[in-house]
Amino acid sequence: MEKPQNGLKDGHVSELYEMTATELAEILRTKKASSVQITESVLNRIDHVEGKVHAYVTLNPESALDMAREADRKIAAGDARPLTGIPIAVKDNMCVKGQRTTCGSKILANFLPPYDATVIRLLRDEGMVILGSANMDEFAMGSSTETSYWGPTHNPWNTDLIPGGSSGGSVAAVAAGEAIVALGSDTGGSIRLPACFCGVTGIKPTYGAVSRYGLVAYASSLDQIGPISRDVSDLALLLNLICGHDPSDSTSVPREYPDFTAFLTKPVGGMTLGLPREFFSKLENPDVERVISEARKVFEGLGVKFVELSLPHLDYGIAAYYIIAPCEASSNLARYDGVKYGHRAENFTGMIDMYCRTRAEGFGPEAKRRIMLGTYALSSGYYDAYYLKAAKIRTLITSDFKRAFEKCDAVFCPTAPSPAFKIGEKIDDPIQMYLTDVFTIPVNMAGLPGIAIPGGFSMGGLPIGLQLIAPHFEEARLVQLSAAFQKETDHHLKRPQL
């Protein structure tokens, strides 16, 4: 591990691709570097390490440089915004007009969206530089970015290991210096797990805080777009940009959002963090136990109090999630039939045979598994036994959190039960792979905001993440707590050597 030179040191600027968006924004403002220079630095880094990491599905260097030149014109004209000129990667399930968007699947291998997702429009309006689409588990179905049709992404800390999923490409790009910041989506931990495994910061906002218009759906009641960065300062800037009401998304909540950067310097003394017994009883990895214990001491040193509490229905979370999510996936993925867009089988006899062959050829094993699980659970005679019960469990989990937040400002727990594991280690054991999400799934089930921040390292030098969970629409509270923690620690400053 190495600690980079962040910002200016002894009159010298570190490599531009190593720096945060906050630092680069100041460099752009003071004309010490241009957006084109920053973008070229990141593109050169991609050329150097992408073969080892495989963070991207689609790269658009010429388009990125055009955006950078336009950003420099805005800056010169005094029309810059906080993130103008900053290079960003976007997950491969967000529609970018005219740019291949595949969701990591063969069935959409050559799909060119005719419109921008709302978050992409916001990035363009801000003057950010979109580098390309980052690799992901097929249709966001996975915890390791191994189910992608385009092959697995590798963890920059150890390329034999998974980066986490499903937003593994977005997170690995930030960790490896192949993007300054990124957008991912989180259905059951898909931002927070890879952030944990790759030593970066990622947040799943409250359901309804960020528009899902143009996000290709996996499980519509659980999916949420969120930002990924090296530190919480950059995260706050991105939240300022993407949080807000969107009339194009019927689940978008009409409300005002604060300036999240105002919470970066607020003290946390006197705040209370909850320790859910059901989470901590599942801790079996000594490295995770040690890191979480050390993180608790940091917060205690900042004047934060801790209280034990119970979330009694958490133990049913994974079972309920793996009914609800596949049911919604079964419905959402029914549209991929080879008729209007996407892959179509070449050889078939009749329409029904075309449907069957197209879907058999186009979807990978994990997508097929979840489609079949969902179709079965929704079928006649089983809806009440499976889906309806899972929906009731979801309500109970939400109620558990609501009662917990009467005793604490946020919940404190691990992000994952272990550090990153080897590529191929769990891909053939779905149950073990699904259990990787044990600490993250309840957040999505309840629609809550959750953040993963670097908490420390295993004895083998692998990142381990800390998770904080707040009440609905209290992302500012997570920014406040995370910023205080990162001021006292340097875990987020350490970078992998590639």
- How confident is the model over 345-382, as pLDDT tens digits? 999 999 999 999 999 999 999 999 999 999 999 998 89
**Residue 89 corresponds to which amino acid?**
A
Q: What CATH number does residue 54 fall under?
A: 3.90.1300.10
- Give residue-wise pLDDT tens across range 74-132: 999 999 999 999 999 999 999 999 999 999 999 999 999 999 999 999 999 999 999 99
Pick the catalytic residue from 166, 167, 170, 229: 166
Pick the catalytic residue from 190, 211, 252, 458: 190
**Residue 269 corresponds to which amino acid?**
G
248 is catalytic: no
pLDDT above 80 for 188: yes
CB burial of residue 391 (10 Å; 0-12, 13-18, 19+): middle
In order, the DSSP letters of 451-478 are: EEEEEEE-TTS-EEEEEEE-STT-HHHH
Q: What are phi and psi of 424, to 5 degrees?
A: 90, -10
Q: What are phi and psi of 98, to 5 degrees?
A: 80, 0
190 is catalytic: yes
> Per the domain annotation, does 301 fall within a domain?
no
* This prediction's pTM: 0.96
> Per the domain annotation, does 346 fall within a domain?
no
pLDDT-derived band of residue 10, with 50, 70 and 90 as boundaries?
A: very low
Q: Greater confidence, 296 or 8? A: 296
Tell me, what's the pLDDT at 380? 87
pLDDT-derived band of residue 282, with 50, 70 and 90 as boundaries?
A: confident
Tell me, what's the pLDDT at 165? 97
With CA atoms as reference, report the closest residue to 88 among 204, 183, 16: 183
Total structural domains within the chain: 1
pLDDT above 60 for 3: no
pLDDT-derived band of residue 297, with 50, 70 and 90 as boundaries?
A: very high
pLDDT-derived band of residue 13, with 50, 70 and 90 as boundaries?
A: very low
pLDDT-derived band of residue 9, with 50, 70 and 90 as boundaries?
A: very low
Q: Residue 244: CA atoms inside 13 Å, Cβ hemisphere, count?
A: 12
pLDDT-derived band of residue 8, with 50, 70 and 90 as boundaries?
A: very low
**Which residues contact residue 267 at a Cβ distance below 8 angstroms, ignoring those fewer than 6 apart?**
302, 303, 484
> Per the domain annotation, does 444 fall within a domain?
yes
pLDDT above 50 for 4: no
Percent above pLDDT 70 for the chain: 97
Pick the catalytic residue from 91, 167, 252, 482: 91
How does strand 463-469 pair with strand 450-457?
antiparallel
Q: Centre a 10 Å sphere on the Cβ of residue 78 and count the other Cβ atoms it contains.
A: 6
Tell me, what's the pLDDT at 385? 92
Tell me, what's the pLDDT at 14? 72
- How far, in Å, are 162, 263, 291 from residue 155 at the CA level? 5, 31, 20
The predicted model gives 268-275 an average pLDDT of 98
- Give residue-wise pLDDT tens across range 392-421: 999 999 999 999 999 999 999 999 999 999
> Per the domain annotation, does 309 fall within a domain?
no
Tell me, what's the pLDDT at 433? 96
> Per the domain annotation, does 458 fall within a domain?
yes
With b meaning 16 or more CB within 10 Å and e meaning fewer, what string describes 350-387? eeeebbebbbeebbbebbbebbebbbebbeeeeeeebb
Mean pLDDT of the chain: 95
Domain that holds residue 102: 12-273+408-493
- Give residue-wise pLDDT tens across range 119-152: 999 999 999 999 999 999 999 999 999 999 999 9
389 is catalytic: no
